[in-house]
A = this chain, B = another copy of it.
Amino acid sequence: MSLPATSVTELFAPVKDDLRTLTANLKELVGARHPILYAAAEHLFEGKGKSLRPALVLLVSRATMTDQDITSRHRRLAEITEMIHTASLVHDDVIDMAELRRGIPTVNSDFGNRIAVLAGDFLFAQASWYLANLDNLEVVKLLSKVITDFAEGEIRQSLTAFDTSLTLEDYLEKSFYKTASLMAGSSKAAGVLSGVTLAQAEQLFNFGKHFGIAFQIVDDILDFTSSTETLGKPAGSDLRQGNLTAPALFALEEMPQLSGLIEREFSEPGDLAQAVALIQSSDGIHRAKDLAKSHIKLAVSAIDWLPASAPKQSLINLAAYVLERLY
């Protein structure tokens, strides 16, 4: 599973040109008619490292079309995936009243809630429309399910804030809805567009699902182990909002005193810092890393059947890179 330190750009190599076209297309598709959205689009589609999701779609597309070039539908699917992801980020930031994402101001903080709600709706709507025009009902169903899952994930997170009875299973389900569903649904959809078998399509779904769950677990670990500078937001942000992630849930098992701090919603001065310190000193981070590793293994084994190719190797390397972010 180990691999030499590398950059994300290198990992995306087989689809580097595709991604450049995609970014240009997205800015045009979204921003062309409305200056107000153009500014938001510039803002949204320019951020570094934001192209993981379309890269996965393009890599799966190329890995399942080894003997021929990918089609315009594969490309459109990658664009739709990024639109849906971006729409969800914009609305997430309104919901969380977030001011920064990856260190740059959010749409709501730069343009206000009004524009942020509209921009998100517009992106979801555009995505649905382009989706319908792919003329493939199975793909429409797969991606519509993803949009429902986003809302489901956010609602669950909202309902279970500061709830120390949350189980690891609840957390994994929520992570699937919030993060992995898009990667699972869009990887499978790319395969469907390539004409893979039903069983292969299911395996592509599993690849995206386990990749996405591992990705979310790693993100949740980084919220405890990284500096504010690296994260682009204060460390412990999830916990402060009552979002109990893998490290916190594992820590709760060994440190019952943690639940008191969480249940009173960090209302006393120093509560949050104390809780973060408890989690950092617990075995929670380590156990969460093991959990992420196990999902990455499942992701990689789900694409075992793919014929050897540069894009397949990129998918495997990307999976390993998810874990490398921790070291």
Is A131 a contact of B144 with CB atoms below 8 Å? yes
The answer to whether the Cβ of A192 comes within 8 Å of any Cβ in the partner chain is no
Interface residues of A in 94-119 (CB under 8 A from B): 94-95, 113-115, 117-118
The answer to whether the Cβ of A308 comes within 8 Å of any Cβ in the partner chain is no
Is B137 a contact of A117 with CB atoms below 8 Å? no
Q: How far is the CB of A131 from chain B (nearest CB, A)?
A: 7
In angstroms, Cα B137 to Cα A129, docked, is: 11
Is A144 a contact of B117 with CB atoms below 8 Å? no
Closest residue to A92 on the B side, CB-wise? Answer: B117
The answer to whether the Cβ of A198 comes within 8 Å of any Cβ in the partner chain is no
Most buried by B among A34, A95, A125, A154: A125
In angstroms, Cα B113 to Cα A37, docked, is: 21
Closest residue to A156 on the B side, CB-wise? Answer: B34
Most buried by B among A34, A145, A150, A151: A151
The answer to whether the Cβ of A45 comes within 8 Å of any Cβ in the partner chain is no
The A interface, classified by DSSP as helix, strand, loop or mixed, is helix
Q: How far is the CB of A18 from chain B (nearest CB, A)?
A: 25
Interface string of A62-76 (1 = CB under 8 A from B): 000000000000000
Given contacts A114-B158, A144-B131, contact A121 B151 (CB under 8 A): yes
In angstroms, Cα B151 to Cα A70, docked, is: 32
Interface string of A121-133 (1 = CB under 8 A from B): 1101110110111
The answer to whether the Cβ of A85 comes within 8 Å of any Cβ in the partner chain is no
Closest residue to A96 on the B side, CB-wise? Answer: B114
Q: How far is the CB of A298 from chain B (nearest CB, A)?
A: 27
Is A148 a contact of B132 with CB atoms below 8 Å? no
The answer to whether the Cβ of A295 comes within 8 Å of any Cβ in the partner chain is no
Given contacts A91-B117, A117-B117, contact A151 B135 (CB under 8 A): no
Is A141 a contact of B147 with CB atoms below 8 Å? no
The answer to whether the Cβ of A306 comes within 8 Å of any Cβ in the partner chain is no
The answer to whether the Cβ of A155 comes within 8 Å of any Cβ in the partner chain is yes
In angstroms, Cα B133 to Cα A81, docked, is: 20
Contacts of A199 in B (CB 8 A): none
Is A94 a contact of B117 with CB atoms below 8 Å? yes
Is B94 a contact of A113 with CB atoms below 8 Å? yes
Contacts of A145 in B (CB 8 A): 129
Given contacts A36-B158, A94-B117, A158-B118, contact A125 B151 (CB under 8 A): yes
In angstroms, Cα B126 to Cα A124, docked, is: 13
Closest residue to A135 on the B side, CB-wise? Answer: B137
The answer to whether the Cβ of A3 comes within 8 Å of any Cβ in the partner chain is no
In angstroms, Cα B37 to Cα A145, docked, is: 18
